[in-house]
Structure 1
Amino acid sequence: MLHLRISVPGDLTVGVLDVLERQPAVSGLAVIEGASRRPVGDIVLADVAREAVNVIIDELVELGVQREGTLQVETVDTWVSQRAFDAERIAPGSSADSVVWTDVTAQAYGNSELNWTYLSFMCLATLIAGIAIVLDSQILVIGAMVLGPEFGPIAALGVALVRRRFHLLRLALGTLVVGFVVAITVTCVAGLVGKALGWVTVEGFTAPRPETAFIYTPDRWSFIVAVIAGAAGVLSLTSARVGGLSGVFISVTTVPAAGNIALGLAFGQLAEVRGSALQLVVNIFGMALAGWLTLAFQKTVWNRFADRRERLRQRIRGSR
């Protein structure tokens, strides 16, 4: 169940109420007249079954609610209402499977913003990955994977393609490129400092590393894991039941590959740079492709549910 809070000028209130009253998935509806100061107007409150909220939001956007006022969507964790139960039962599909596209798009924009926090996490994660490579430690590699924030803009690539938001596509690509370039540069400088201090040697870096050799030796399994992880990650972001996102972070070799690129540049080991760069590209491409296909599939499925819901609404109106 979702709660909508709509602040609109008085001349839009009638249209908003008409949209909400026509939907059987709306279980609760209230109007507080004159309560809104900015914009000057009314506040409309509605409880809506999650499965039907996309259609309602699309109609409200057509009215211009987003231009003249504000629309907030909040998750209701606990509710006790027979009308709400009936609304969810009538709405086709499962609440946990439904995708609230407004929420997904807003998350994509937020996760794709290039800011100091994102760059800091990228640099710290890549530095830990560099240390993990020097020590040949899989535990530190996993820690670097979990700390890395790169999955957000990777998932945003799929959202941008499905929703045709090309500004989001450019934003996500720019954040990915700049983030990895900055992180690799910082880690490369750190590697050069370690080399000058004698903490890390070329011999130590090029010695056999059985625990972390997979970072610079991509194979078909690298792509397969990236595809599976990308699909799981997108499902975790779009579903009402988030549970698998942490598994994505420890499945793909993006940040560790960036760390190995940085050390390879610092020590002049171009073979490892090439292998790690290929590993990085394979993982990003696999996750982005899987995210796009997963979102496209979800959109197709929920469009069919929307058609069923419209037919059901017409039958309900005809029986009155």
Structure 2
Amino acid sequence: MRLVQLTVPTGMRGAVLETLDARGIDYVVTDEHSRREYTAVVYFPLPTPAVEPVLDELQETGIDEDAYTVVVDAETVVSQRFEKLREEYETGDVGSERISRQELETEAEDLTPSFGIYVTMTVVSAIVATAGLLLDSPAVVVGSMVIAPLIGPALGASVGSVIDNEDLFRQSVVYQLLGVVVAIVAAAIFAWMVRVTNIVPPGLEIGDVDEIAERLTPDLLSLAVALGAGVAGIISIATKLSTALVGVMIAAALIPPAAAAGIAIAWGEPAAATGSTALVFVNVLSVNLAGLVTLWYAGYRPENLLSLRSTEQRVRKRVIALGLIVMIFAAFLGGITYASYAVSTFENDATAETEAVLEDEAFAQYTLLEFEVETGGGYPFLVPERVIVTLGGPPDERSGELESRLNERITAQTNEDVTVEIRYVGQVEM
């Protein structure tokens, strides 16, 4: 619930009180003597979903933005008339749970820090994420998400679009683009410094680090994270729920992939940065798309109803544009997903074929110790390149027939040019 404090301009006192009486709203009026253009201050409690329609109706009576209004949280209101008002507005659907348009705009603006703090915190979070990825530490990576200041700009563009605040929209778009670039550049510089100073092992292969590898070859499931983050983010600020955890979720979709892209650049593998960079941008677009659709569904519209039609057309165009771009990126991620699926399928099939060959009585003395598939072809579309089969068997004994059959059966499972390497580990029977 909210407590509204409205400063009433001279000559508007009667109109304001008549509007509140017609709505069945309890109020307290105090005379105002500090400034000549104001005659009174009216205090009245409202259920949260009633704030926007009541303020809009008061504005129609002639109350403009010069008569400033303060809306604050109210802990408890004891009043039979207030309970009737609550029953009228709180219907249990999404629209009745949301805050007013005026509060939403303030929330979006408050979530976006000043330029200097935004850039500084983005740099710090990117550096921490880079360190976490190189350390292969999920805990450190999560820590980088907590300090990332991305939730404000990520949601501000959607808020600005639906309430016809183009200044907020443009600022949020600029902040988002700047945040992505700053994060990737900061990660690349820090990773390069770490590499040249040998803080990490000189021969480190970034593809061998799990936390990095999974972001160099993203798949379509990453899209679900970004869309979920966008919906959850908008719901959190539209209903005044805690935005801290949602901010972590949005940062999870942006900061680690940006750090992975920076690491790939620092390691001199720009092709490896393709997948993670695409993931960053598709996540940014998906968060904006989900936020825009959710806000419009929740019933937010511009303050000036005369601009409703133009705003609706603008929102529709942005949704369509975002949807098309997301679909293009989704097709790219789908290609990466299919390539990963093909490698996994090949490994399973080739392993099964190897086990089937070893079931032959002629090779009963050999056992499969390890089956490893090495990929190549360049990120993010990896293909099987080499298969290493480690067998246990009699010491100093090799089987040319076994090697031939394994090579034939394994290479038959893929259309790629795969090298099969057979290794033996001598085993002595006790």
TM-score (norm 1): 0.84
- Displacement after TM superposition at 1:217 (Å): 2.0
Residue 232 (structure 2) aligns with:
232
Partner of 2:310: none
- CA gap of 1:192–1:39, structure 2 versus 1, over 3 A, is farther
- In the other structure, the counterpart of 2:88 is 90
Indicate the residue corresponding to 1:158 in structure 2.
158
| CA distance in 2 between partners of 1:250 and 1:296 (Å) | 22
* SS at structure 2 position matched to 1:11: coil
Q: What's the counterpart of residue 102 of structure 1? A: 102
Show structure 2 runs of 5+ residues with no match: 302-430
1:150 positional shift: 0.9
The aligned counterpart of 1:74 is 72
Deviates more, 1:129-138 or 1:113-122: 113-122
| Residue 205 of structure 1, CA deviation | 5.0
3-state SS of paired residue (1:253):
helix
Alignment correspondent of 1:305: none
Task: Give the corresponding residue for 1:307.
Answer: none
1:226-282 CA distances to partner (integer Å, 9 max, x unpaired)?
A: 112211121111114x15751562463201112122222222221232111111012
Quickly say closer, same or farther: Cα 1:67–1:229, change in 2 above 3 A.
Answer: closer
* Greater C-alpha Rg: 2
Structure 1, 53-62 or 229-238: larger mean CA deviation: 53-62
Q: Which amino acid aligns with 1:82?
A: Q
- Output the amino acid matched with 2:138: Q
Aligned amino acid, residue 101 of structure 1: R
- Aligned equivalent of 1:124: 124
Q: For 1:42 and 1:184, locate their aligned partners in 2 and report how far apart those are by CA, in whole Å.
A: 54
Q: AA paired with 2:72?
A: E
Amino acid at match of 1:186: A
Q: Distance in 2 between matches of 1:155 and 1:215?
A: 24
Judged with a 3 Å threshold, the aligned counterparts in structure 2 of structure 1 residues 214 and 79 are, in CA distance, closer, same or farther, namely farther
- Secondary structure of 2:203's aligned partner: helix
| Bigger mean CA deviation after superposition, 281-290 or 208-217 | 208-217
Does the C-alpha gap of structure 1 residues 268 and 33 become closer, same or farther in structure 2, counting only changes over 3 Å?
same
* Distance (whole Å) between structure 2 residues aligned to residue 284 and residue 182 of structure 1: 14
Residue number in structure 2 paired with 1:249 = 248
Of stretches 13-22 and 3-12 in structure 1, the one that deviates more from structure 2 is 13-22
Structure 1 partner of 2:413? none
Letter in structure 1 aligned against 2:107: Q
Question: Mapping of 1:1-320 within 5 angstroms?
Answer: 1-24=1-24, 26=25, 28-37=26-35, 40-63=38-61, 65-94=63-92, 97-112=97-112, 114-200=114-200, 203-204=203-204, 206-240=206-240, 242-243=241-242, 246-247=245-246, 249-250=248-249, 252-299=252-299
Amino acid at match of 2:47: A
* Aligned partners of 2:90 and 2:96 also within 8 Å: no
Structure 1 gaps of 5+ residues are 302-320
Give the direction of change, closer, same or farther, for the CA distance of 1:36–1:65 in structure 2 (3 Å limit): farther
Inter-partner Cα distance in structure 2 for 1:46 and 1:221: 48
What's the CA shift for 1:71? 0.4
The TM-score with structure 2 as length reference comes to 0.64
SS state at 1:254 partner: helix
Q: Tell me, yes or no, if the aligned pair for 1:7 and 1:70 is still in contact at 8 Å.
A: yes
One-letter code aligned to 2:280: L
Poorly superposed stretches of 4+, deviation over 6 Å: none
Q: 1:39 to 1:216 in 2, by over 3 A?
A: farther
Aligned residue in 1 for 2:312: none
Bigger mean CA deviation after superposition, 242-251 or 252-261: 242-251
Is the CA contact (8 Å cut-off) linking 2:144 and 2:255 kept in structure 1?
yes
1:290 & 1:144 partners in 2: Cα distance?
A: 24
Alpha carbons of structure 1 residues 39 and 277: separation in structure 2 relative to 1, 3 Å: farther
Shift, 1:166, TM fit: 2.0
Q: Could you tell me whether the CA contact under 8 Å between 2:229 and 2:249 is conserved in 1?
A: no
Number of residues of Structure 1 aligned to a counterpart in Structure 2: 298
Task: Check 1:92–1:111 CA distance in 2 against 1; reply closer, same or farther (3 A cut).
Answer: closer
**Percent identical:** 25
d(CA) in 1 for partners of 2:45 and 2:280?
Answer: 44
Q: CA deviation at 1:96?
A: 6.7
Partners of 1:207 and 1:220 in 2: CA distance: 20
Distance 1:268 1:64 in 2: 64
Q: Which amino acid aligns with 1:178?
A: L
Superimposed CA distance per residue, residues 91-128 of structure 1 (whole angstroms, 9 cap, x where no aligned partner): 25249713311111112223345422222221111111
Q: Secondary structure at the match of 2:282?
A: helix
The structure, 1 or 2, with the larger RCO (C-alpha pairs under 8 Å, 6+ apart) is 1
- Is the Cα contact below 8 Å between 1:202 and 1:267 reproduced in 2? no
- Post-superposition Cα deviations, 1:24-45, rounded to whole Å, max 9, x if no partner, equal 3x2x211111244486432111
**Contact 1:112–1:171 (CA under 8 A) maintained in structure 2:** no
Q: 1:71 to 1:166 in 2, by over 3 A?
A: same
* Cα pair distance change 1:36/1:75, threshold 3 Å: farther
Letter in 1 for 2:248: F
In the alignment, what sits opposite 2:419? Answer: none
